[in-house]
Amino acid sequence: MHRSSFAPPPAHSPPLHHPVPQHVSTVPMMRSPPPPAPQQPQSASYGNPYQPAPAQGGSGTYAPGFGGFINDPTAQMGFQVGKTAMMAGQEYVEQNFNRYVSISALKHYFNVSNSYVLSKLALVLFPWRHKPWSRQQTRLTSTSTGPDGQISQQQYSLMFLPPRDDLNSPDMYIPVMALVTYILLSAMLAGFRGEFHPELLGSITTTAIAVIVFEIICLKLAMYILSINNDSQLLDLVAYSGYKFVGIIVTLVASEVLTPGRGTGGWVGWTMFAYTFLANAFFLLRSLKYVLLPDSTSDASMRAGSMHTVARSQRNRRTQFLFLYAYIIQFIFMWVLSREGPSGLASKTGGAASL
């Protein structure tokens, strides 16, 4: 195929065909078919950056087809170099990526089951009767037994159970799905009102993501100022800040179904909003407790007795912040996000109409 397309071409071929027989006479087996000669300038232009010799060899064995080209040792070497370079690059990217977001940690957050998702959704929407809020930890004992059967080394590492096994564990599945659903639902509701623009998707997405980013920054700053050092919490915080989308989605859907076209501004919308906000705040209050108030009892006992009062006042401050975060900051953000739906635009257009 390739040869037939290469050989006949323009007017080059006749003059270039002439040298070929001469070469055949000198090097009979290597260059028997004519095409290599027209290939020569091309492969030379490729090969020149390297060395002339491999280009020669490459062009010589190129004739039988691409299989010969691949079997060429220099090409093999090139492949090897390329492969290792790509592997190294991939490794580098992975390493640098892992520094910020570790893949294994992310996998841990997506390790969910159907029953977990259902009960977690129920928990987010109805957290009042749930009793144990602490996350379960498994003591991961990695014992390396020696050859004589006795335990030579024992390492304890506390591991939180994955969401599949522990209802109180934060996951990323529900927040991600809720975020996507929220974006699509808002766009769809705007479509019902005939106000859909493609840009709406982008603006809703940026608003939602900006809210999450802002919340994380607030929390991180507070954790710095209140000197709460608890590592590996960033993804937990992202997950917890994503749960509010569930409540917002319920609010939007309920207000659209019960009072179609009125948005979340009616009494149904406000009631649903108040309920989901309170439920979400209660849920966050309970589940962020272990993030923001990490085992202060052991802290206090570890420190000297003179520091006890400091620890207590600090604990008080942390509790106040937790309350502030769960109720006031969440209220603002949930209001912003659920206003994003029908009522905001409706009131905006209403305002425009009245103006």
Q: Given the rule CB under 8 A, which residues bind other proteins?
A: 202-203, 206-207, 209-210, 213-214, 224-227, 310, 314, 317
b/e for 216-246, b at 16 or more Cβ within 10 A? eebbeebbeebebeeeebebbbbbbbbbbbb
In angstroms, what is the minimal distance from the CB of 313 to other proteins? 9
Q: Please, which residue, 140 or 225, has the CB nearer to other proteins?
A: 225
Query: Does residue 178 sit in helix, strand or coil?
Result: helix
In angstroms, what is the minimal distance from the CB of 218 to other proteins? 12
Query: Does residue 145 sit in helix, strand or coil?
Result: strand
Q: Please, which residue, 188 or 209, has the CB nearer to other proteins?
A: 209
Question: Tokens 């001469």 — which residue?
Answer: 22
CA dihedral 297, 298, 300, 303 (to 10 degrees): 180
Check: CB of residue 62 under 8 Å from CB of residue 39.
yes
In angstroms, what is the minimal distance from the CB of 224 to other proteins? 6
Closest CA to 249 of 183, 319, 333: 183
Position 302: which residue type? M
Closest CA to 220 of 315, 321, 312: 321
In angstroms, what is the minimal distance from the CB of 206 to other proteins? 4
| 153 token code pair | 């080394």
In angstroms, what is the minimal distance from the CB of 255 to other proteins? 24
Q: Please, which residue, 101 or 310, has the CB nearer to other proteins?
A: 310
In angstroms, what is the minimal distance from the CB of 184 to other proteins? 18
Distance CA 88, CA 93 (A): 9
Distance CA 282, CA 293 (A): 16
Which stretches does DSSP call E strand in 115-246? 137-145, 151-160
Q: Please, which residue, 123 or 223, has the CB nearer to other proteins?
A: 223
In angstroms, what is the minimal distance from the CB of 138 to other proteins? 31
Beta-bridged to residue 158, according to DSSP, are 139
Beta-bridged to residue 137, according to DSSP, are 160
What secondary structure letter does DSSP report for 326? I
Q: Please, which residue, 118 or 225, has the CB nearer to other proteins?
A: 225
In angstroms, what is the minimal distance from the CB of 210 to other proteins? 5
- Provide the CA 186 distance to its chain's centre, in angstroms: 22
